[in-house]
Chains A and B, each alone.
Chain A
Amino acid sequence: MPTPTTTVPFQAVLDAHGSALHRHLVGVLGPHDGADAYQETLLAALRAWPPRHDGNLRAWLFTVAHRKVIDHARARDRRPVPVGSVPEHGSSGGIGAGPDLDLWAVVRSLPDKQRAAVALRHGDDWSYADIAAVLGISEAAVRQNVTAGLDRLREVLT
């Protein structure tokens, strides 16, 4: 049975979720790629607007964003990584909180699902169910990804 398209004005979604979306993308991609992905997400969302979707428009918007994050993460992985920009191991060299060892830099080094799950669950207080909708996986799988991601953060940062 077809879902009716929403009649919510795009501006309302932008007002409600734009700021959190931008912040999330800066968290998982850094300020520069995050801002790019944010703009790409708005364009893609507006092209697809109105979605055949009657329920969770936030999850719909972040699903669009998640694809952009994966594109950017792939592109980044293909670029040469400056030495020390992404810590591979729990180095306590330096004071431990230098610009290259900050928490979000480590979040960015996590695998796609862990990165998204940790950032949404703990960076933006999402429910496991909503994260599951964005990632297209079960809630149990979301929990596993959150746990694995946090374990990795602790391992690197402490």
Chain B
Amino acid sequence: MSDALLAELTLGPPIEAGAHAAATASALARADREGLVEVALAHQDSPIGVLTLAATSAGLVRVGFPREHDTMADELAVELSPRVVELPKRLDRVRRQLDEYFAGRRRDFDLDVDLRLARGFRRTVLERLYEDVGYGQTRSYLELAAMAGSPRASRAVGSAMATNPVPIVVPCHRVLRTGGALGGYGGGLDVKRWLLALEGAGGQLPFDGSGGAQPSFEARSS
């Protein structure tokens, strides 16, 4: 055997640096124009770690915390469609607004949100939360249950929060226990506390129970 020949074959043909990424990006952009990409993915650095973002043609469908970085594509392939592709361009608007939010320069997201991963009452709860609980405000699980039309369904509200597919943008961090205890958070309680502080709602604000908590700028009330 001519081992020099085999060794040269093993090295493979030369490829220009950057050519692979460019060819891939170009093919995926074309696939997107042809409507072949059903779930577009992007990763976005943020003060709470790298977020994984996913969009369908209807809008932002998923925001994943850092611990979900490696599993989200697999989950979305099962739950939505296996035509999942990294296509950051489709998420440019989301990424820009998240950057502004984390920099303290944006209070409201102006985004199409696709809540198809939440069903029934959970979806109703998330819709109310997205539309009616603004920056720096907080609500209790009970209040949100009432807002969604089922005042006794605070446990169902709890599970809607725990399974919120679009955290941060649909602000489940603004939902606390009656009395102001933090409750739970998919991204971890440190992150919940951090987001509330960012919004000037403080980490442990005493809750006035009126359902009309106003934004507070005392970041560290005690």
The answer to whether A and B come from one shared complex is yes
Q: Which residues of A contact B (CB under 8 A)?
A: 5-12, 14, 18-19, 22-23, 26-27, 31, 34-35, 38-39, 42-43, 46-47, 49-50, 103-104, 107, 118-119, 122-125, 150, 153-154, 157-158
Contact of B31 among A23, A42, A107 (CB under 8 A): A42
Considering the chains assembled together, what is the distance between the CA atoms of A74 and B20 in angstroms?
24
B residues 130-175 near A (Cβ < 8 Å) are: none
Contacting A50 at CB < 8 Å: which of B6, B16, B82?
B82
What does the 1/0 interface line of B1-36 toward A look like (CB < 8 Å)? 010011011101101100110011011101100101
Min Cβ gap A106→B in Å is 10
Q: Please tell me if B197 contacts chain A, counting CB pairs below 8 Å.
A: no
A37 CB to nearest B CB, Å: 10
From B5, B20, B30, B83, A43 is in contact (CB under 8 Å) with B30
A-chain residues with CB within 8 Å of residue B78 when the two chains form the complex: 7
Please determine whether B12 and A124 come into contact, CB atoms closer than 8 angstroms. Answer: yes
Taken residue by residue from 35 to 46, chain B's Cβ proximity to chain A (1 for < 8 Å, 0 otherwise) reads as 011010100000
CB-based contact A46/B86 at 8 Å: no
A47 pairs with B5, CB closer than 8 A: no
Interface Cβ pair total, 8 Å cutoff: 106
Known: A123-B9, A123-B12, A124-B12. A22 touches B23 (CB 8 A): yes
A107 to B41, CA, bound (A): 38
- B83 touches which one: A10, A122, A125 (CB < 8 A)? A10
| Interface window among B55-63, B69-77, B188-196, B203-211 | B69-77
* Distance (whole angstroms) from the CB of B52 to the closest CB of chain A: 11
* Known A-B contacts A11-B73, A46-B31, A46-B36; A122 and B6 likewise in contact (beta carbons under 8 Å): yes
Q: Report yes or no: B83 in contact with A49, Cβ–Cβ below 8 A.
A: yes
B85 interfacial by beta-carbon distance below 8 Å: yes
Q: Does B84 contact A (CB under 8 A)?
A: yes
For A12, give its contact among B6, B26, B74 (CB under 8 Å).
Answer: B74
A43 touches B73 (CB 8 A): no
Contacts of B37 in A (CB 8 A): 46
Q: Roughly how many angstroms separate A158 CA and B6 CA in the complex, as a whole number?
A: 13
Q: How far is the CA of A34 from the CA of B27 in the complex (A)?
A: 13
B85 touches A11 (CB 8 A): yes
Within 8 A of A (CB), among B63-99: 73-74, 76-78, 82-86
Query: Across the two chains, which residue of chain B brings its CB closest to A41?
Result: B27
A25 vs B63: C-alpha distance in the bound complex, in angstroms? 36
Contacts of A8 in B (CB 8 A): 74, 77, 82
Query: A18 contacts B20, CB within 8 Å?
Result: yes
Contact check, A9 vs B77: say whether CB atoms are below 8 A apart: yes
Q: In the bound complex, what is the Cα–Cα distance between A47 and B31 (angstroms)?
A: 8
Known: A31-B16, A47-B36, A150-B5. Is A42-B27 also a contact (CB below 8 A)? yes
Could you list 26 A-B pairs, sorted by A, with CB under 8 Å? A7-B77, A9-B39, A9-B77, A9-B82, A11-B41, A11-B84, A12-B74, A12-B77, A22-B15, A22-B23, A23-B20, A26-B15, A34-B13, A35-B19, A38-B27, A43-B27, A43-B31, A43-B36, A46-B36, A46-B85, A50-B83, A104-B13, A107-B9, A123-B10, A125-B10, A150-B6
